[in-house]
């Protein structure tokens, strides 16, 4: 609810029914500084978001980003978009291709658990599992084509600032995440990090203000319990632990909307458990403060890095 006389900033959150997107949507929905609209892929996703956040029906729009056909402002009569999306000032893109585990590989992994335990190995080795994507929902379509469509639509709407949640590890084409969706011969719909990197470059060249966030491994732990470490160009991939709470990533998205000024920036982020020698008793700084401190460094990702084609 807005305070009397307060003008809120309208923000579109895409992928709003997802595990990270719903957290971003919820934070914005309960913040009087913002007026939020969630974009979801299906009516089922819309029901899921409404049940999870108790938001209003008019705050949710159904549109598969891989099939977006919204035209230019001049085409409004022939190629309309839902009116709740009008007058948006910012967009937070949380869409991502989501792999599904092969049931056969999961059964094999479960059957190997007793042997793995006896030989003191991990009960289940994640890398032994096989994954696939739903038809039309693989990385090229969702993380590249779909993101490009969202960026183009943002420009059509007159959005000024796009926050894109991507992934850390994008500089390494051999990253395990790129193998998901491929067979043992390297065929299939994979390369999720490569497609994400290409979409990032498209956003950088769009003329829009941008904030690109590269989280480490996303975990469903309580936010605001670890120090947020921000850096660039996969430097944090060298850390032993490279995870971050989804809630902390959501808070960084809000920080990007409120603290960026007119700056465009791209950065990596992880959470770090603080020990006693590092001031274990002092309060954890907020995502806002962590982002402000990072901006003071003047760092941003170098998009000349990475193999040719990325």
> What amino acid positions are annotated as catalytic residues?
167
Q: 267 in helix, strand or coil?
A: strand
Helix, coil or strand: residue 145: helix
C-alpha–C-alpha distance, residues 48 and 242, integer Å: 30
Distance CA 242, CA 270 (A): 6
CA distance 24 to 35: 12
What is the C-alpha separation between 262 and 265, in angstroms, rounded? 10
Q: Among candidates 129, 38, 40, which has minimal Cα distance to 84?
A: 38
H or E element that contains 252: helix 246-259
Q: How far is CA 123 from CA 107, 112, 179, 219, 241, in A?
A: 13, 8, 22, 19, 20
Asked if 293 and 247 touch (Cβ cutoff 8 Å), the reply is: no
Q: Which two tokens stand for residue 38?
A: 């969630």
Gap between the Cα atoms of 284 and 297, Å rounded: 20
Which tokens is 246 given?
């989804």
Measure the CA–CA gap between 192 and 194, rounded to whole angstroms.
5
């Amino acid at each position: 609810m807005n305070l009397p006389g307060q003008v809120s900033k309208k923000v579109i959150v895409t992928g709003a029914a997802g595990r990270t997107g719903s957290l971003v949507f919820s934070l914005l929905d309960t913040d009087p500084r913002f007026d939020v609209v969630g974009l979801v892929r299906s009516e089922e996703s819309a029901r899921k978001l409404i049940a999870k956040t108790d938001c209003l029906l008019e705050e949710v729009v159904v549109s598969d980003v891989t099939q977006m056909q919204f035209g230019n402002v001049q085409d409004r009569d022939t190629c309309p978009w839902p009116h709740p999306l009008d007058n948006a000032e910012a967009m937070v893109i949380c869409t991502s291709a989501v792999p599904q585990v092969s049931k056969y590989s999961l059964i094999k992994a479960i059957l190997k658990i007793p042997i793995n335990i006896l030989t003191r190995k991990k009960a289940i080795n994640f890398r032994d599992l096989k994954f696939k994507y739903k038809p039309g929902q693989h990385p090229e379509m969702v993380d590249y084509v779909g993101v490009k469509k969202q960026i183009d639509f943002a420009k059509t709407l007159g959005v000024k600032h796009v926050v894109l949640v991507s992934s850390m590890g994008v500089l390494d084409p051999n990253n395990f995440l790129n193998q998901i969706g491929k067979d043992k011969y390297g065929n299939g719909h994979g390369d999720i990090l490569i497609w994400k990197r290409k979409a990032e470059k498209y956003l950088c060249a769009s003329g829009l203000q941008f904030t690109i966030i590269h989280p480490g491994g996303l975990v469903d732990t309580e936010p605001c319990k670890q120090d947020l470490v921000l850096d660039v160009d996969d430097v944090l991939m060298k850390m032993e632990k490279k995870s971050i709470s989804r809630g902390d990533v959501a808070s960084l998205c809000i920080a990007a909307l409120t603290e960026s000024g007119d700056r465009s920036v791209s950065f990596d982020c992880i959470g770090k458990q603080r020990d006693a020698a590092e001031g274990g008793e002092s309060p954890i700084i907020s995502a806002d403060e962590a982002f402000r401190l990072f901006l003071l460094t003047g760092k941003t990702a170098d998009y000349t890095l990475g193999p040719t084609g990325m």
